[in-house]
Amino acid sequence: MRLKKTLLGCTTMLGVALLAAGSPASANDELQKLQGDANQWVMPTGNYANQRYSTLDQINASNASKLHPVWSFSTGVLRGHEGGPLVIGDTMYVHTPFPNNVFALDLNDNGKIIWKYEPRQDPSVIAVMCCDTVNRGVAYGDGKVILNQSDATTVALDAKSGKELWHVKNGDPAKGETMTMAPMIVKDKVYVGISGGEFGTQGRLTAYNLKDGSLAWNAYSVGTDEQLMVDPNKTTNMGKPIGKDSSLSTWQGDQWKTGGGSTWGWYSYDPATNLIYYGTGNPSTWNPVQRPGDNKWSMTIFARDADTGMAKWVYQMTPHDEWDYDGINEMILADIPVKGKMTKALVHFDRNGFGYTLNRETGELLVAEKYDPAVNWATHVDMQTGRPQVVPAYSTQHNGEDKNSRNICPAALGSKDQQPAAFSPKTGLFYVPTNHVCMDYEPFKVSYTAGQPYVGATLSMYPPKGDNNLGNFIAWDAGQGKIVWSDPEPFSVWSGALATAGDIVFYGTLDGYLKGVDIKTGKELYKYKTPSGIIGNVTTYTHGGKQYVAVLSGVGGWAGIGMAAGLGNDTDGLGAVGAYKQLSNYTQLGGVMTVFGLD
């Protein structure tokens, strides 16, 4: 089969201006060029559009059954391995969860370690990391590898030597502020987020100057207009100006100061609009009675100017969140037909179980439909107001009483968590790793103390009634808001997907299988059981004229927190342990990079 060299030849089919190289002044020249070379994997998200699509087709539906492991690399770390490697030229960069080691591996010499970076961090940070000690990867730009450490330190390393070039403190673990997200580099800036919504932090997106780590700007999720970096008269929500004090007016007193809205997910960027897109997390606490109001702008999609940080538009998916449906999942940018009209779209699969399609230029809401039939907490989203219509029986708002709300679907970990979906321009479909999990949710009163959990709810999780599977891998039509096909999985699909021009979609399973399925039908073409459960993201690249597929295995994350942290009670791990207690019968801990190829 023909091995396609770049993405540039398919930009017409993609229809996304951000993949074109025609506006060199609009984006970092180096990364703009590198993301168009399918032989490399230069961003954690694959490209600025977060599409996780490759034009490589040497590995395809006709020969996928002949795939096999060709080499592997042990990271030496036992906690959950999210994210995936970067491939820049002949070097692969591999990261680990805490203690956040980074390895540069020589692809010309059997994966020999060129250099290794081992941060020195206080292990006490582990106690304030919500849902395992995960890290979602490093970023590359201007000859630097950028790492976000668990202790909220952002570090720049020389890509050739591993030497530390600069570091900056982005948060304080003593307040519950940690970092798990992968950085994003655009032009001369590094964009990083913060974790800690379960500790009452004030979420924010921060831009540092790539050259030296100096602060460019800070944009908060909740707070004053100045902190939010919004213009009350120009920043819009559902097509209307948000107005003065749009966030403050939706919180009681000073609750916004510990209001959450953390920004630990994936970011995307459109050079045509010069906007960065990302989501914000849950409001604090998880007890909704203690924080009356819509709690803006937690649970919100932000579109910000990449240079100034000013917000152009916002959209809140779950006002006054009662279920911990963090809104941090990735924003995928693609030009697709929406109900018959070609649209510059932003597609977002929210934790709350609704798949959203918006106009990425204006923030107009176009589609909002359930992507798991089990979702029951709301009947639908009102397309005029953008608000979900909550079913009272599944509300957790109990007028101050501690009451257990039962059989809420999805569970707090959502119909999808951070595990990123993929988009194929060949089919126009989105390929989504999902959770098929429900919960009981019992709020209780909690007081804020800096550095202590600020949760205020006890959860139990389990499959929907009548079902035995905890996950599905689906193909989604974002223009119509419909499931095209669905493959059930015994456990949640917690890995990131990869779609290729070879008509294959790859994903990993919690019990350790790398799977390749037909992009049009979902038919299984290949599977191989790796040494541990997969919560990492599948990537592909070429070396020596051959295409390879790589994935990190290492069970953990929220779904695997019971195994990763040695928890045993059903309500441990914020409710996840009970749902996944059978997982230890199928896999064990251990971080390994496995690379697959053809003969």
Torsion region of 399: left, alpha or beta (phi above 0 gives left; psi -120 to 50 gives alpha): left
Write down the residue that tokens 């299984």 correspond to.
524
Q: Cα(229)–Cα(172) distance, rounded to whole angstroms?
A: 22
Asked about 37 being catalytic, the answer comes back as no
**CA dist 362 to 297, 301, 314, 481, 585, Å?**
18, 12, 9, 20, 49
Closest C-alpha among 112, 79, 85 to residue 97: 79
Query: What is the three-class DSSP state of 194?
Result: coil
Task: Tell me which amino acid residue 42 is.
Answer: V
Q: Determine whether 92 is exposed, middle or buried from the number of CB atoms within 10 Å of its CB (0-12, 13-18, 19+).
A: buried
- DSSP per-residue letters across 248-299: GGGSSTTGGGG-B----S--EEETTTTEEEEE---BS-S-GGGS-S--TTSS
Centroid of chain to Cα 13: 25
189 beta partners: 186, 209
* 3-state class percentages of the chain: helix first, strand second, coil last, to nearest 5: 10, 35, 50
Q: Determine whether 598 is exposed, middle or buried from the number of CB atoms within 10 Å of its CB (0-12, 13-18, 19+).
A: middle
CB 460 within 8 A of CB 578: yes
- Beta-carbon neighbour count of residue 171 at 10 Å? 24
Query: What is the three-class DSSP state of 385?
Result: coil
Q: Cα(461)–Cα(323) distance, rounded to whole angstroms?
A: 12
Contacts 24+ apart (CB under 8 A), 60-65: 60/1, 60/500, 60/502, 60/503, 60/504, 61/502, 61/503, 61/504, 61/518, 61/519, 61/525, 62/1, 63/1, 63/598, 64/502, 64/504, 64/516, 64/525, 64/526, 65/525, 65/526
CB 330 within 8 A of CB 323: no
CB 54 within 8 A of CB 507: no
Candidates 151, 225, 270, 324; catalytic one: 324
- Beta-carbon neighbour count of residue 110 at 10 Å? 9
186 beta partners: 189
Q: Are strands 236-237 and 311-316 parallel, antiparallel or unpaired?
A: parallel
Structure letter (DSSP) for residue 463: P
Point out the residues that are catalytic: 324
